[in-house]
Amino acid sequence: MKPNSIDEYIATQPEDVRPLLQSIRETIRAAAPEATEKISWQMPTFWQGENLIHFAVFKKHIGLFPGGEATSEFAERLAGYKTSKGAIQLPLGKPIDYKLITDIVRWRVKRKAKESDTL
């Protein structure tokens, strides 16, 4: 069954992962208070004129998907994580760097605002 909301998505995940997902959600919400929550690509997504960031649970990690420019911009701080173009893996069982998530989301919001100003 495909979730229709972030609440539904979180509710269908393993019990031990739900608090992490909720904390990531709250972190993103605080960093992008004007963003709208939705499900896109079957993942929790924050939208503000475009997809700012997605997140999802996998077997051994939580994936963050802020886009390729974000992984390049934060490459130094992401050195300890497995990344690919536009994706960051946060290993389950290790502390989550919520400050890093906040900084990435705020960067995405600022980047979106700059793009909107040039249009």
SS3 of residue 37 by DSSP: strand
Task: Find, among 55, 90, 56, 84, the residue nearest to 70 by Cα.
Answer: 84
Looking at residue 5, the DSSP 8-state letter turns out to be S
Locate the domains of the chain by residue range: 6-112
The whole-model pTM stands at 0.92
What CATH architecture applies to the domain 6-112?
A: Alpha-Beta Complex (3.90)
- What the block records as the tokens of 111 is 């980047």
pLDDT of residue 113: 75
Ranges under pLDDT 50 in the chain: none
pLDDT of residue 68: 85
